[in-house]
Amino acid sequence: MENAELQALMESVSVEYFGKSFSHQARFNARLRTTGGRYLLRSHDIEMNPKYLSTFGKAEFIQIMKHELCHYHLHLENRGYKHRDADFRNLLREVGAPRFCKPIEMEKNLHGYACKKCGTSFMRQRKMNVSRYRCGRCGGKLVYSGQKKGMQASFNEK
């Protein structure tokens, strides 16, 4: 799906579920990592995460579009558009949009470390300088044991 197709789909979903036109821009943003979509307050544009379309399919993607369109229409009407607002929650219920999108599994690279003295091993997301740190259990020196690829981590949207 290209940005032009996304724009057409966003306009049709807006008319079908809200009875109102979507007159701003919808586009894909591949830099989004942990969120399905985002409504931009200043420009009134909506950015969508293409990974959610490829991972969960068009039906779930439309659910995320409905969620973002709730923010869009309420903000343009000067009503409560934030997640905590009653107007927002009521509109979500009316159109059948989810409050949160499904979590997407992402691969994380983890770094392994072991203590020379007691043998305790642990993993970290960030690589650290072993000469500056000691084992928390016994105070022994640490050794870098390598990088593990493909660890699964789950992130949720809003």
Nearest to 64 by CA among 143, 129, 157: 157
Active site residue 68: yes
| Contact present, 143 and 116 (Cβ < 8 Å) | yes
Known binding-site positions for Zn(2+): 67, 71
Q: What are phi and psi of 94, to 5 degrees?
A: -60, -40
| Contact present, 63 and 101 (Cβ < 8 Å) | yes
| Contact present, 29 and 47 (Cβ < 8 Å) | yes
Known binding-site positions: 67, 71
Catalytic position from the list 47, 60, 68, 94 = 68
Q: Taking the mean position of all CA atoms in its chain, how far away is CA 153?
A: 13
Q: Taking the mean position of all CA atoms in its chain, how far away is CA 70?
A: 17
Token pair 């009407």 in the structure block, residue = 77
Using CA atoms, how far apart are residues 108 and 123, in angstroms rounded to an integer? 11
Active site residues: 68
